[in-house]
Structure 1
Amino acid sequence: MSLQSHLAEIPEFRRQNKNFRYFLVDILAISVLATLCGADDFEEITLFGQQKEALLRRYLPLPAGPPAVDTYRRVFAKLDVTRFNACFMAWMQEVLPAEAAGQLCVDGKTLRGSGAKPLHVVSAVASGSGLSLGQVAGQGKGHELGAVPDLLALLDLRGALVSLDALSCQPHVAQQITKQGGDYLLGLKANQPTLLAEAERHTAALPDRQAHTRWAYAGDGSPVRYRVWTQSDLRWVDEQGRWPGLQTLVRVETSRHPSEGQPAVQQRYYISSRALTPAQADGFVRGHWAIENALHWQLDVTFGEDDHLLRHHHAAQNLTLVRKMALNLLKQDPSKRSIKNKRKRLAWDEPFLERLLAALCQPTT
């Protein structure tokens, strides 16, 4: 099914108003296409529809022409967030089946322009592809932990390793992941003091020869050494019974070596229900950064999400889903260009845009 076909399955919620002039699927499809081409808010989406009306009419009915800006505002404010997210997730399950997802990274991001009590959206990203798979929102970062189980419940976790930061290092989160057929990799900090102390104690004496070591460079050019140890002998871990399927403690040592002064050393700890070698653990710990680099950074920098002031929370959630749809489409394009340049090319190169339209929409007859 095309993305347009999935959008067409969202029930028309305006039936009580017999006078509406624009089909819901047209409004949503234009919003995604406009966002692909560089539009970041409703005014720009409206301008795109007006400028590309002739092209859009080949694929969308548009019986009354392209919608006006107030139509987008009203529709996105009233559109059922749960149904729109379900449409998005159904499309992504078709694009990326569960067995191909691999590592799923879960983390939250605040929509800073969504008011005095901003929304905090928890998202899931497939690490290997960088594709976003779904979202659940809460009001304020303090509600992230409550949103995580709701998002996990929507995902197919069978065979996946789910990575989360230390905020979600909770026994009930670990239990839910394993019950849904997945494995967990959880950051471990002081919110679990007993387990943290045991991880520090049981990994401190591991010899250097057992570490997986790699070097990289920081933004200022300083070399950084990463060393990763894993401990699978957990007979002396008193906390093991609270964590279903716990198999591995992970210790990551990061030492930055500036040109002057002493190295700065940091220790981080993780727990996992999967048996991991040091090299595997290093790969999954690094893989978790996909949600920052492939999603949050793109939404903020490339799509200007933090600069968009949209106080209506329903509209803000729906519009961030549109951005994720557009970002996923851009990531699936095989051309070797940045996301920013792909958006510009779609805006400037109409034959390129029409090829995408033909793949997403059925031509009108």
Structure 2
Amino acid sequence: MVKDLTSSNIDRKNILNNNIVIQEVYQQVGFLGIKFEGKYRFTKTQISNFFEVDNRTIDRILENNKEEIQQNGYELYSGNKLKLFKDEIFSLINQETHVHDKNVVNIIKLKEEFEALNKTPQLGVFTYKAFLNIGMLLSNSENAQKLRSLILDIVIDVLNKRLGGKTKYINQREEDFLPSAIREYNYRQEFTNALDFYITTNKFKYSQLTDKIYKSIFKGNSKEYRQILNLSTKESVRNTMYSEVLDLIAAYENGFANFLKQRHDSLERKLSLSESLLLFSEFEKSMQAFIEPLREKARSIMASRDLAFRDALHEKLKEYIDEVSSEDFEKFLGERSMDLEKRLEDNKEVFKRLKER
């Protein structure tokens, strides 16, 4: 799926929230700026020089996207903070050896700018993320276009390095997946047992009632889900689901199994499949107030993460797409993330003790 960073706020946020990608961009671009309060900072003139546009162009970008750029670190300095920042610039000018890349942070231009800055009562200052944010929004700059292309290449490279290019099972890399998968498996057993005990024999009852759950949660059946993620018929859809979605499926399965048992006991007979499908609609309606917040969360998680990590669009869940948080990127791509096989190996003794209980 082609990403246009100039027009897609979600794509911009997902990249700027991905600190692993930002670190790689930081290494490759080499635009290091002025070190202040532990971060590299940039003046508007430095930004405009990098992108080879005038300051008014940067002003227009700021005016039209101020809240977004502020969220990524842009702020106005004044008073003592501005004085300290000016002192840092002055120190940098007088100690040229501290400049990391003289082709980027041009000392002569910095000197010229400092003379003007020395009189200003406030100054707009950009962080590295805010600088990248400008580059994503700037449509009339060749350097900005090159930067966007580099960023998108790095996003792909990071996924390839971390996952070997296989994003299908990225859901399994978080710590919570394994316990959620085990819980869901147990509740699935309760669910299928209930279908056996309380519904008359029908080979379609498992798939149809499972699809009822899927449609209730993410507005699509298993076939549609397979198509979106390009899964073969032999691949389990649940092996690709995030822990929060598995937990909600388990809640549905456990709840409906109990609901079905109660109806069976009151009727003192097994239900037909058609009766069971109607009963599910009754169950879903009765649980609406309780389930709705969890369902909205699951839909947003599925739609947002799949778009960011798998480049997969759930058309029926488009309204739920949101940015993926920095915490999520760390969870699935960072140091704490791990292949399921490795996690199983690391927890082998735990599973052994559970088995021996």
Q: Place the TM-score, normalised by the shorter chain, in its bin.
A: under 0.3
TM-score (norm 2): 0.25
**Which structure is higher in helix share?**
2
**Which structure is higher in strand share?**
1
Larger Rg: 2
